[in-house]
Amino acid sequence: MSKGQETKQRLLDSAQELMYSRSYSDVGVQEICKDAKVQKGSFYHFFSSKSALTVEVLEQLKMQMIESILLPAFAKDLTPSKRFERFIEYAYQHQLHLKEEYGYVLGCPMGNIALEMSTQDEEIRKKVETLFESIFYVFVDVLDDAKAAGEIDEAANTSELAQVCLAYGEGVLLVAKTKNDPEVVKQLLPHVSKLIGFKGLAD
Partner DNA sequence: ATTCTAGTTGACCGCTCGGTAAAGTCAACC
Partner DNA sequence: GGTTGACTTTACCGAGCGGTCAACTAGAAT
- Binding site residues, DNA, CB under 7 A: 2-5, 7, 25, 27-31, 38-46, 48-51
163 contributes a contact to a copy of itself by CB under 8 A: yes
What is the rounded distance in angstroms from the CA atom of residue 173 to the CA atom of residue 90?
13
According to DSSP, residue 27 is labeled S
- Which alpha helices (H) appear in the chain, and where do they start and end? 3-21, 29-36, 40-46, 50-65, 71-73, 80-102, 109-117, 122-148, 158-179, 183-188, 192-196
From the list 29-37, 85-93, 107-115, 142-150, the region that binds a copy of itself by CB under 8 A is: 107-115
What is the rounded distance in angstroms from the CA atom of residue 152 to the CA atom of residue 150?
5
**What does 159 bind: a copy of itself, DNA, none (CB cut-off 5 to 8 Å by kind)?**
none
CA nearest to 68, candidates 43, 50, 91, 40: 91
112 contributes a contact to a copy of itself by CB under 8 A: yes
Residue from 15, 58, 114, 138 binding a copy of itself (CB under 8 A): 114
What is the rounded distance in angstroms from the CA atom of residue 173 to the CA atom of residue 185?
7
CB of 4 to a copy of itself, least distance (A): 31
Q: How far is CA 168 from each of CA 47, 164, 165, 185, rounded to the nearest angstrom? A: 34, 6, 5, 11
Residue (2 or 119) nearer to a copy of itself, CB: 119
What is the rounded distance in angstroms from the CA atom of residue 99 to the CA atom of residue 79?
30
First to last CA, the chain: 48
Residue (40 or 126) nearer to DNA, CB: 40
Residue (32 or 117) nearer to a copy of itself, CB: 117
**What does 169 bind: a copy of itself, DNA, none (CB cut-off 5 to 8 Å by kind)?**
a copy of itself
CB of 37 to DNA, least distance (A): 8
From the list 3-11, 48-56, 89-97, 105-113, the region that binds a copy of itself by CB under 8 A is: 105-113
Which 14-73 positions form the footprint of a copy of itself (CB under 8 A)? Answer: 21-26
Binding residues for a copy of itself (CB under 8 A): 21-26, 102, 104, 106-107, 111-112, 114-120, 125, 128-129, 132, 160, 163-164, 166-172, 174-175, 177-180, 184, 187-188, 191, 194-195, 197
